[in-house]
Amino acid sequence: MNRLPLPTVTRLCNIYELLMKLESQSGSFISSSELALRLGIAAHSIRKDISFLGEAGNTGAGYSVERLKGLLRERFAFGEEKRTCVVGLGRIGSAILENSQFAAGEFKIVAGFDSSINRLETIKTDVDLFPAYQIAEIVKRLKINFAIIAVPPSSAQDIADRLIEGGIKGIVNFAPVVIRTNKDGVFVKNMDIAGELRILSALTSNRSV
């Protein structure tokens, strides 16, 4: 099986998310053109993406929703619990810690870290909290694979390095600085709110004149 390109992986994730919402109707089928319509992606892209998964069995009625979900789960380990931590428990970090989206989903937040002991003592949460100097040790011990970083920009890269040292495979970074990793098999998604607003504003000004 070959490694898939990022746009294909992203689209297959979107397909999986859509199929999860359709869960109630079991035994049903969905066509590539219905997937295309709902996701805003060309139907031929969807057929090609799904073909990477193996024999998805497209009949006249379309793909079996159950079979397609099963293939996606198998390929990407969807549905398995992913142990996740939050580093930096300021306003954004502690909001994420308590986000109900995570309480229900497969990304279970099992630890929070902050460099301020005072902050660790005052936050009320059911999640176990630890001082930031223990990151590598706790990540390794609790077998945490994913992390959300919400620390000041000056310490974000150092925090990422320590997370990766502990064995983290994926990082979502809210610090307004680009985190880099050269380690194979470790992926970072930088989510800079002000940076995204800047791109939106540039697109707005980017008119044909």
1 lines the binding site for a second copy (CB under 8 A): yes
- Site stretch for a second copy (CB under 8 A), options 3-11, 54-62, 121-129, 136-144: 3-11
Single out the residue of 94, 89, 136, 138 nearest to residue 114, CA to CA.
89
User: Could you give the CA distance from residue 50 to residue 184 in angstroms, rounded to a whole number?
Assistant: 26
Q: Are 176 and 195 in contact (CB under 8 A)?
A: yes
- Find how far residue 88's CA is from the centre of its chain: 18
- Site stretch for a second copy (CB under 8 A), options 56-64, 72-80, 111-119, 133-141: 72-80
202 lines the binding site for a second copy (CB under 8 A): yes
Locate 179 and state its tokens.
């985190």
Which 3 state secondary structure label does DSSP give 30? strand
Residue from 34, 45, 170, 181 touching a second copy (CB under 8 A): that is: 170
Positions touching a second copy (CB under 8 A) are 1-4, 6, 9-10, 12-13, 16-17, 40, 75-78, 82, 84, 90-92, 94-96, 98-99, 101-102, 105-107, 145-146, 148, 169-172, 176, 178, 180, 185, 187, 189, 191, 193-209
